[in-house]
């Protein structure tokens, strides 16, 4: 922008040029006296004032251009009003669940024809209401796997907590892919599930192929293992109540929920020190698809039980490695363990069962129920022909030699006494004379 001083100087020059051009330097003009020059300067000054007034008038709109700058500053006000909008409140449902994981038998897991298996879901309570034992798991549709229509929840679940829900099932007897859908039901009989609307069901999804055979039983063979506590080697079978620790086979003991689910191995860690008991089994050759399976938990009425179950293995004289570890407390529930051993296929493996006291061990009566190695087979398990040696009872037929009592017939030889009467007839010749 041209400064005011420069503008005035320019206007003054123009005014003088105009006046001089019109009078002073006209062709017919003659030199003017001083007063005449003064008059010319005065006229020029008046002309300058008039022009400066016009310039000032024409410059007045220029400041309006600066208003555009202030307009930019004023645009900040709408942004401040946006921040004052309150957030939208989220609504929390009373009953709602979220799927966390498949504890056992992920989608597509292989199960043998006709075999028993336990499906466990881990769910989270994402609603505002606590779940109680009046809540239940309910069958919806699909393959039922021989289960009941509903199963009560194992315990109370507060909002934000997770729970493992177990369902005992029986596989179909035909090969194929099977799926069964389940949902939850509250104490008032209202169904709810997972998903954004809390109305979606969850499911069991398994592939049935062949049969599941038990190829090694850890209960039957438990005295083949070398048992020891924290500091001492233990006898097998151990003595019930031995404070040094013991291992014993039990026939269908009750688990902590009061239900018996099969033969079990009872393991008790030593009371002194940190408390532990370990059994190392002899070599067993693993094949692809083999699994370690068991139900683990505390014995019934072991109210202070708090232990850690650990499954380990060793190949040759190599390092001992852990396949899995699970904590169990006496809360009325148990855990179903299923570990894929395919990574050890072809190896001769020494399996190690360990129980650790998680605190004091005075009530740590830990059960391994039906611990075994299972294997898939295209054929069903053959009959246990090892029972046929009971046919050896048939040699009891040897009691038939009691017929030897018939030799008592030899008493008939007493008839030989009859010839003694014949000599009396020889006396008759004496009568002839």
Query: Do 133 and 153 touch, CB atoms closer than 8 A?
Result: yes
Q: Is 283 helix (H, G, I), strand (E, B) or coil?
A: strand
Q: What is the pTM of this model?
A: 0.57
CA 153 – CA 322 distance, rounded (Å):
31
Q: Angle formed by the axes of helices 34-59 and 4-19, to 10°?
A: 140
Q: From first to last of its 433 residues, what are the pLDDT tens digits of the chain? A: 455 566 666 665 665 555 455 544 444 444 444 454 445 545 555 555 555 444 444 444 545 444 444 444 444 445 445 555 565 555 679 999 999 999 889 999 989 888 889 999 999 999 999 999 999 999 999 999 999 899 999 899 999 999 999 999 999 988 899 999 999 999 999 999 999 999 999 999 999 988 889 999 999 999 999 999 987 899 999 998 898 999 999 999 999 989 999 999 999 999 888 899 999 999 999 998 899 999 999 999 999 999 999 999 999 999 999 999 999 999 888 888 989 899 999 999 999 999 999 888 788 999 999 999 999 887 777 754 444 444 444 444 444 444 444 443 333 333 334 343 334 333 434 333 2
Task: Give strand pairing partners of 122.
Answer: 101, 164
* Token pair in block for residue 227: 């048992």
Fold of 97-209: Immunoglobulin-like (2.60.40)
Strands 264-268, 211-217: parallel, antiparallel or unpaired by DSSP?
unpaired
Residue 261 φ then ψ, to 5°: -130, 15
Cα–Cα nearest to 366, from 281, 291, 300: 300
**Dihedral class, residue 280 (left if φ above 0, else alpha if ψ from -120 to 50, else beta):** beta
Q: Is 199 helix (H, G, I), strand (E, B) or coil?
A: coil
Query: Do 305 and 329 touch, CB atoms closer than 8 A?
Result: yes
* Token pair in block for residue 244: 């040094």
CA 109 – CA 139 distance, rounded (Å):
20
CA 304 – CA 330 distance, rounded (Å):
7
Cα–Cα nearest to 137, from 146, 150, 148: 150
* Token pair in block for residue 111: 């199960």
Length of the chain: 433
Q: Please state which CATH number belongs to domain 215-377.
A: 2.60.120.200
pLDDT value, residue 94: 95
């Amino acid at each position: 922008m041209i400064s005011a001083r420069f503008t005035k100087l320019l206007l003054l020059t123009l005014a003088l040029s105009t006046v001089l051009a019109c009078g002073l330097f006209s062709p017919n003009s003659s030199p003017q006296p001083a007063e005449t020059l003064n008059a010319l300067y005065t006229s020029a000054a008046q002309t300058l004032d008039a022009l400066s007034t016009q310039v000032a008038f024409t410059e007045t709109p220029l400041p309006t251009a600066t208003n555009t700058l202030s307009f930019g500053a004023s645009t900040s006000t709408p942004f401040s009003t946006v921040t004052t909008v309150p957030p939208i409140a989220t609504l929390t449902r009373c009953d709602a669940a979220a799927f966390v994981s498949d504890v056992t038998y992920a989608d597509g897991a292989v199960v043998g024809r006709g075999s028993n298996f336990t499906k466990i879901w881990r769910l989270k309570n994402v609603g505002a209401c606590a779940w109680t034992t009046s809540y239940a798991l309910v069958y919806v549709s699909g393959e039922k796997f021989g289960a009941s229509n509903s199963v009560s929840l194992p315990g109370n679940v507060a909002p934000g907590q997770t729970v493992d829900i177990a369902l005992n099932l029986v596989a179909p007897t035909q090969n194929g892919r099977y799926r069964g859908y389940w949902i939850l039901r509250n104490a008032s009989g209202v169904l709810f599930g997972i998903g954004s609307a809390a109305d979606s069901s969850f499911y069991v999804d398994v592939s049935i192929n062949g049969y599941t055979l038990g190829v090694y039983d850890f209960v039957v063979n438990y005295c083949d293992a070398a048992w020891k506590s924290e500091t001492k080697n233990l006898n097998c079978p151990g003595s019930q109540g031995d404070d040094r620790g013991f291992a014993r086979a039990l026939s269908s003991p009750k688990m902590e929920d009061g239900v018996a689910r099969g033969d079990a191995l009872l393991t008790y860690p030593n009371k002194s020190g940190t408390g532990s008991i370990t059994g190392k089994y002899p070599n067993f050759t693993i094949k692809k698809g083999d699994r370690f399976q068991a139900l683990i938990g505390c014995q019934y009425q072991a109210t202070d039980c708090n232990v850690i179950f650990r499954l380990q293995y060793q190949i040759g004289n190599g390092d001992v490695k852990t396949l899995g570890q699970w904590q169990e407390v006496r809360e009325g529930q148990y855990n179903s363990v299923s570990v894929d051993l395919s990574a050890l296929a072809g190896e001769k493996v020494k399996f190690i069962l360990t129980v650790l006291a998680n605190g004091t061990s005075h009530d740590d009566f830990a059960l391994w129920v039906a611990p075994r190695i299972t294997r898939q087979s295209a054929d069903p398990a053959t009959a246990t022909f090892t029972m046929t040696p009971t046919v050896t009872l048939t040699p009891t037929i040897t009691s038939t030699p009691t017929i030897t009592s018939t030799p008592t017939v030899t008493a008939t030889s007493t008839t030989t006494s009859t010839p003694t009467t014949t000599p009396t007839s020889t006396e008759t010749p004496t009568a002839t004379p």
